[in-house]
Chain A
């Protein structure tokens, strides 16, 4: 391994002419190893899905060709046969200076596996472009490549250059545009080295932690929340060998990039190249499918737009961004809005309204149909009076008259929706049944084995669809065919985020407000009013306590609050003591606290209640406290199993007297006596507390002094007892 790597290093660091002799190569992953495009991808690979009526992979290949790449290795795994067949029959197989070679695998489950396989084939001889087959771009590679090579000459450890792009400025649109998770990156502004990468935002954490050495090593680091990862990487050969070395690397970003940044493997470095005016984006989910389709129609991706890519004069661009194939049959009364695409051989009936949509080839659309923001692929039949909003409709689907697709609906191949049937929002409908076994860990997004079997099943299905017809008729209305996939719990929240439909405004506002709440929590982090009323942690930064401590204390603070709330509820609703005990116990388990903490927290709640109940004098306060203690002594007692826990209560009380409930300070000995009388505190506990306090500072002994008499009395009583015993 080591020898191989050395060889690679030596070769790449040779003079530029040597480098120039290698043709520029690219690895195109024709499998995204995710399940986000299901159910469609059960039947057709993602890279072949039409994007404004042209398979996605064509955009990627066309860009690679224009960017000067000479040799492309297309890695296919799921539905590999379809991809290979497509490429063989397409124009790409016969380009003079652009060779497309397919590499087939049946058992790869991740990008990592793919790169390991490619490494074994030993086909990559120099720097290469790593891209997935669902990327649309029109950037020029020249500059990025040059930067990469220059860096390599200076530093052989600079093995990868990632292309990033400024995202939209508003914090909301950053997330909503491509439906991707928010991304945090730290980049050295001078060297452009990538120092930190976090894409799966850990929502629980309101902060980013940067390693201190990172900050010490780089006098200036820019943290970005406003960049978008284009998933176009210029890599050196080492990247492949690194994947082989680290056989556990699966995901390009989550494992490889993070691994390199965090584990500091052999000092390898990743750099970024920012593009400004050109376009680059990856279709990661239905939302980005929608966004990028619109960008293509609006020609941001020029020259990779339908009329140019098709080459022929078959598609004409008209005003308002209307793309129309030459032989569309259009009713005179049909109303076509702006930014639409209509493919060859499509017929559109009377009074049909279409806007912001893509309609594929040979579709038949009836009268009085409304289509807004939808993607209708080929050979789709839409009967009269249907309404479609923000839906994706795959090949061969039939919508019977009057069917309605609510926003976010995905209809996979050959689904039939019955008459007047309303498909609820965000439904995914397929002829294939939902794989019963959902990936338990969706985060990993491996394509599971079902993607392979799905292909088989679809073949079978194509053969005999008829038997299924009757069975599933009910699910999609009369005459409907297909299964509505269930949304898994937990995934439901994400549905709107990744959907083809625009994010509903209430969700957007909620997103904004949620963020606010997060902030509130965060502000509290820095400024917690603890239950004992003292102002905490503003000075924590100067570090008397370290963070672990802080965390556990924060836990305790919120635990105490919960206990207090429970207690108050018990008081106001006359909950039985047993039930209250149960509830507090449940809290204790969920916060992972000891029963010591429960005792303290309950006692604190009781005393706080006493202080907060109306009282005019100390004696009234004492009576309040006595009442409460009497009523709830059983609750308190059930958490005081031994002396230590009782001492904890005394300490808690002392703390309260000093801080939050100073009114009790005068009553300290009386309350102590009360607790003794009620047998909540044993005399042992009180005496041990007194002994412990004996050695403390003067200031700490205030309360000890006040209760001196009582303790004296206790001691005497004890001695008497002992004498009696004798």
Chain B
């Protein structure tokens, strides 16, 4: 399969032409960087080998800072430069922080004074715009919150800041997380770095595209029905959806409270894992956050050199049969089957497992998520914050504020949910969907009793064209089939790029989804880390960056 594809261009083009970068930016600090070509080697730090190994940007940042090889300001400068260069094509950010360099300089002063550094010191993090940030607008991609800046940081954001991370900006999304393409944003459409005529997936499309195009090092997204995993798959990055309750939802604008989780994007499994470790743990401000202790996830990242030839010997992998049925692109199916073969080579025992309830997940998900969203979005009434359309009469004020504030997909889901919860319809809709959810949870439990990890595609196809499904909500919903069941069961899942299908100038990445038992993110990260280090002939750096430089 891979032979049909153009080899993806590595960032070496980019690195060897540092001066070209300057042409596209008027950033002052960058000119000072040009005299320090060493910086550019750290932008990606990719080895020159034909199969560049994914590495941890977080760990190398830390290493660079501690060894005084680089300053935080230099790192921030280089990322900001690329951000400005690529942003007109991608439009992944709704807001870019103006204090990144100031924070980096502060960090450099700390380093100068030999002060202790947090584990995320200097790490540039992009945050999905439905996650509250005290110093930046947080709109959830909705007109109803246009210009709204929360008075507090989400717990996940607070933790990142406390550990030294720097928030680069707020990324685009489908309004309130409702969508699979990021076309549902009230403000802009984000493009896929692999092919700017295609969607980055969604709803965390901005966060996925930003990591993919190296506009930041890692990013936060949210995953209610696949909103981290599907865009990760579309953009060729690692997406990690933790167990429900592992990460505090405090400050995440609720879409469907019983399904929502904050997830992580990284260029490597290690980055996604380290970021997850940083934001995990019980939060007294979120009653649904788990009190379970968080194991040290960083311990799972064993270097390839210390591994034997069958590092995953004895691991039982179940390939979910229902995810390879009709309706799934053959390119995707074969990429996933190849990934299964690769896992076998690593010593895993792979067999197919059937989850008969799998197809029930989609309708159950859309009933539950719509029902909860119809309630969660009631607070956007224009009374206390957000956009108010003044009217002479109270009901008109509500009606006009909400009619003008919400986009069509949000309205569709509010209406669906309101209907599903209405007297006389509750039992046939909401209650039944809850029963289906219990069945799904049980069937996953049974499958995971027999297997360590379940695998499937992350989406039935690779990234499709912008506008292709925009007017066909049912087709869009159907694209979530691979991911919604995992949310219904509350399980952790890791999506990492495993291959390509044809499309764009360099092929389009395909994501492999690994599903683990509740709170067993460690196992997913360990397997994912070994998988990505041993995957041959794949380099998941999008052509956009190189294209920008050479065009």
A is bound by B? no
